[in-house]
Structure 1
């Protein structure tokens, strides 16, 4: 994992985009390590914020697409999300709709939410807006905390 993080960090904004995309999907990856490495290397924080938000939002869109395929057995197999977690995610999304996308940045739960949004065919535009907003705020807080140190 360290080699992947080092390689991605060596590629600046594009590396941040790739790391954020992976982290935004149901794949286990932490883009924060790449973000912090790039900040420490002196990369422009605004650039990282833009690349990170874009990549992570597209990763969430990928999950939405998997969910929109509509077969729970496929979702369980491809995402490795336990059926009980998927069911809880679906119930939660039914309750909050696209607003649930604001929590798409939360590890594990965020993947369940984005898959459930797709599965339940929640409005794609509203879902994308909430994904992007939540993910932007998370990266902004990390960048702010780093700069304050």
Structure 2
């Protein structure tokens, strides 16, 4: 793999990592573009995106574990009621909600998992499954849609 491929993978990792945090990032466009370009293997692309996205969720988890002590501070980013509702929802549906960590609201779920001190190995396993599944599904979708986009009318 040349310098372009390495830079592509670094870009993919950064975008996937950022997309899993509370930052307003999206990684799907970069993933699809790199898949269509084909300068890196699809297996490696999925692996890099999945690891980056999973590690971004680990950051959320760590923030959740650390931020609970500031819950009653004036600057705390969510209200007491919002946090209570998120915790009630997580307690009701359990750790299996981490399989939805790929969804737009998944960042909040990973933070709540940290606040509620979900066992890390369980957190990591479920989030890695969800994130990898997301990129596999995206690869399949891109494979179906991209030929029509690249070929044109």
Fold equivalence (TM over 0.5):
yes
Structure 2: unaligned runs, 5 residues or longer: 146-153
1:99–1:127 Cα contact (<8 Å) kept: no
1:1-149 to 2 correspondence within 5 Å? 11-42=7-38, 43-69=40-66, 70-71=68-69, 72=71, 77=76, 80=77, 84-107=81-104, 109-149=105-145
Task: Report the CA distance between 1:87 and its aligned residue.
Answer: 3.1
1:98–1:123 Cα contact (<8 Å) kept: no
Distance in 2 between the 1:44 and 1:84 partners? 46
Task: Report the CA distance between 1:97 and its aligned residue.
Answer: 2.7
**Which residue in 1 is equivalent to 2:149?**
none
Structure-2-length-normalised TM-score: 0.80
- Structure number with higher relative contact order (C-alpha < 8 Å, ≥ 6 residues apart): 2
Q: Give the length in aligned residue pairs.
A: 137
Structure-1-length-normalised TM-score: 0.82
Match of 1:11, SS state, is helix
Task: Report the CA distance between 1:96 and its aligned residue.
Answer: 2.8
Distance in 2 between the 1:118 and 1:133 partners? 18
Greater radius of gyration (CA): 2
Q: CA RMSD in A?
A: 2.1
